Amino acid sequence: MDEPERMNQATGELPDIEEIQLLTFRISEVGFAVDTEQTSEIIDLDQAKSRKLEIIRFDTKIPFRGVSVTYRTPKVLMLKNEVSRGILIDQMRTIIHAPLDSIHPLPPLVQFPQKPPPIWGAVLLEDEIILLVDGYSLLAGADVEGKK
């Protein structure tokens, strides 16, 4: 995993960052985004198969209330330093610039127990709530029971 930027030891803040770039996508009507600092490329499913990559379905790591997810326009998200596997995502949208002030932690009752959590916060995009995904934490998580 990439080293995080050097943090201010006194305040725990990232000193030179005022905004982050987010790659947004949707799966089953839920909006997600991942920090582009984590991403190396987005490739087509066919490309991923021809490269013999392990394709991890997003919903095998985070359940959608037991509902089977249909990927309409699937793409494979490749993370930096992950060369053999990618995350299957859907309905890619835009890259947005999110000021740090626009990013919210998840409310306490919704926070994931894993450290770091696979969904770590939320950002408002034109009144829509977009969930922020940590790709590495997602890959590290156990498969949802019964799903492969």
Which stretches of the chain bind another protein, using CB under 8 A? 29-31, 59, 62-65, 104, 106-110, 112, 118-119, 122, 124, 127-129, 131
- In DSSP terms, 77 is beta-bridged to 42, 87
Q: Are 78 and 36 in contact (CB under 8 A)?
A: no
Q: What minimum distance in Å lies between the beta carbon of 124 and another protein?
A: 6
CA–CA distance, 142 with 128 (Å, rounded to integer)? 29
Q: What minimum distance in Å lies between the beta carbon of 47 and another protein?
A: 26
Q: What minimum distance in Å lies between the beta carbon of 46 and another protein?
A: 27
Q: What minimum distance in Å lies between the beta carbon of 106 and another protein?
A: 7
| Comparison of 78 and 119: residue with beta carbon closer to another protein | 119
Q: Which of 79, 72, 70, 71 is nearest to 43 (CA)?
A: 79
| Comparison of 20 and 138: residue with beta carbon closer to another protein | 138
| Comparison of 17 and 129: residue with beta carbon closer to another protein | 129
| Comparison of 118 and 135: residue with beta carbon closer to another protein | 118
CA–CA distance, 94 with 117 (Å, rounded to integer)? 24
- Strand-by-strand arrangement of the 19-27 sheet: 92-99, 19-27, 30-35, 128-133, 119-125, 103-105
Retrieve residue 53's tokens. Answer: 């990559």
